[in-house]
Structure 1
Amino acid sequence: MAASSLHAVTGGHRMPQQAGRFVVGITDHMIPPPDLEAAVLDGVAEVDFLDCRREEDLDPERLARLDALLVWSTRIGPATVERLKRCRIVVRFGVGYDRVDVAALEAAGIPFANNPDYGTEEVADHAVAMILSLQRRLWEHDARARGYGTTWQANTLTPLHRSSAATVGVVGVGRIGTAVVNRLKGFGYRILGYDPVQPAGHEKAVGYRRVRRLEELLAESDIVTFHCPLTGETRGLLNEATLAAMKPGAILVNTARGELFAGLDPLEAALRSGRLAAVGTDVLPVEPPAPHPLLDAWRAGEGWLAGRLVVTPHNAFHSDQAAVEMRRNAAETARLFLEDGVLRNRITAG
C-alpha cells in the first residue's frame, strides 16, 4: 500500500483498504506511514494510525473501536486499558514491554504479545562489534592518533590482549546471547555464560562454560556483555556493587536495556578510577539522555575518556531488513489472533 493512500483525520491517519471485519490501531511509529502493516492486514482489518506518542493524548473514542492495538513507544497504562472496550489483543512492535501494563491488560482479559523474533542478528552483531573494537582499543587509538606528530607506529597501547587470551562473560544466553556466543567462538575467546532461566545442558548445545553465580562471571571476565531482559530483579543491576565485583580493567557492553544501569554515577566513577577500562552501550537510563557529567565529558571528547566510552542511540536492533521484519511480524501476530485465534509470543504478568 503506497504512502500516498494515507488521508488525514484528527490526530492521525486511517488506511483505506479492502473492507475488513476488524479495526487495528497503531499508537505511533518510528518510521511512518504504516503501509507495511496495512498490507499484512488488508482484507481483514482497517488500520487506524493514532500517531500519538503520549498516552494522555490518545483519543478515547478511537481506542474504544479497536479490535487490536499495535504499540511502538507510547505508554499503555490502566487508563488506556480501560478505554479498550472491544480490544482482543495488544502487540508490542519490539521485544521490551516495560512501558506496557501487562497486569492491567490481563485484568481486562486482553492478551499481550511482544515481538522477539526480529533483530537478533543485528543486536548480536552490534554487541560483538563493540566487544572487538573496545578490546582492540580502536576508538582510543583513533582519538589519540589525531594528536601524534613526530611519532606514529611507536604509539602502542597496553594492556591489549589477543582474543584467545581473553574471557567474555555473557549475561543472558537467550536468543541474542546465544547469537553472540556463536559469533565470539570464531575469535577464540573463552566464553562464560550466566542465565538461570536456560535449561540444563544449554551450555553444551551452544558451546560456553556455564557459571551458577553472576559474581563468578564478573570476577573472571575481561569483557562482560549484557543480554538480559528488564525485570524487577535486573533493574538497576549495574550499580556500584556490581561494577566493583568486575575484574579490574574489564570492559562492559550493554545492548539490552538502559534501566539495567543504576544511573550514570556508578559508571562514571568506575571509568574515572580505571576499574572499568571501557564501556560500550546502545542504551541509557533516560532516552534521549538527560544532562550528566559523564555524557558531557563524552560529548566534549575529554582526554581521560578518549575512546573509552562508545554510545550509540538505541539502534542496535536496526537494519533495513530488521525494520521490515519487525513491522510485518507485529501485524501478523495481530492478524493470526483476529482471524484464526492463534496467539503467539504471549507475555503474562508475574
Structure 2
Amino acid sequence: MKERIFLSSPHMSDEGYEQKFVKEAFDTNWIAPLGENVNEFERELAEKVGSKSAAALSSGTAAIHLALKAADVGEGDIVFCPTLTFSATANPIIYQNATPVFIDSDYKTWNMSPEALEEAFEKYPKVKAVIVVHLYGLSADMDKIMEVCKKHNVAVIEDAAESLGTYYKGKHTGTFGDYGIFSFNGNKIITTSGGGMLVSDNEERVAKTRFWATQSRDKARHYQHSELGFNYRMSNVVAGIGRGQLKVLDQRVEKKRYIYEYYKRELSGLEGITFMPNNKWDEPNYWLSAIILSGKVKPIDVIKALESENIESRPVWKPMHMQPFFKKYDFVSEGVSEKLFEKGICLPSDTKMTNMDLGRVVNIIKELWVE
C-alpha cells in the first residue's frame, strides 16, 4: 500500500511549542478546564485576530451554540444560515429550538449570496440572527452582507471555523459580526485535537458565555445554578496545544497557499477545470484547495482515482437543504449551491505534503484527461 496522503490532518510544530505548554499543564497539575493555558490562549487568539475578548470552548459547534444564546435566539425564532456548509453550522439553531432558513451561495465567493439574503428578509422580516460562513477559508462578501444585516437590525454570527488566518480587506474574518467562532478540530488549519473559540468585542457577553459553558455555576459557597448550563469549557491541556499551534499559524497559511498555487499552476490547463474564487479583497488561508469540474471528467472520477492510490479527497459540502434532517426547512435559492456540490471536489491540502506528494496527486489527475 502506498503512503497515505490526507485531505488535511493535524500538523504539530517542528519546534515542539505544543509539548512545552502541555508539559507546563501537567507539571502544575492544571489539567482541568481552568488554568493559565486557557486564559492565555483566549488572550493570544483574541489579540491575533483583533478582537477584545474570547472564550475557549470544547468545540466550534459549542461556540456557535453559545453565540446564538448570547444573541438571545430562542424557541420559534428564525435564523438565516448558508446552505453550503457543514451541519455543525446549522445544528445549534435546532439546539435553541429556533428555525433555520437556508440561504444560497453565489459563484463570486461560494459563500452566502447577499442578493439571496436580501430576498430572504423580504420573505421573513422578523429574523433574530444571521450566521455567515467563510467556506474553505474564502471570505464572504462582508461589506454587502453587513449592510443588509444592519438595515434589518439583526445579530450577525460569523462561522470562521475554516477561515482562521483569512483576511477580508485587511481585517480578520470572524471579527465583523457581533460574534465570531473558530474551530480547532483535527482537520483545521491549526488544531487542539478538538476545541473552539468564541470571540467578540462585547466583553460582557463573552463573560456570560464562559459562565454558561461552566454549567452556569453561581458564585456561592455551595453548588447553585440559576440558569441552564453546559459543559463546554476547553481543558487546560487542550489549550496548551492551541497556544503552540497559534505560533505556527502564519506558516500553515503560507503552506496552504503554496499547495493551492501548485495545483493551480499544474492543473489550470486541463479542460473543464476551474478553481475556487479569489477576489481582490480576499486574502484566504486556503484551508482546502477546491476545484469545479465541468467537462467529461467528473468529481467522482477524481475521487476514485486518488482513492485507489491511498489519497484522500472529498466532494464539496452537500447543501443543508438537501440533507434528510434539514430538508423540511425553507431555502432561498439562486440555484448555485447544488451546482457547486454536484461539480466540486476538495483536493488533498495537508500541510505536511511534499512536492513529491503534490506531484503524485497532480499526475493521477492528469492521467484522467488522457484516457
Q: What's the TM-score, normalizing by structure 1?
A: 0.32
Asked which structure has the greater CA Rg, the reply is 1
* More RCO (CA 8 Å, sep 6+): 2
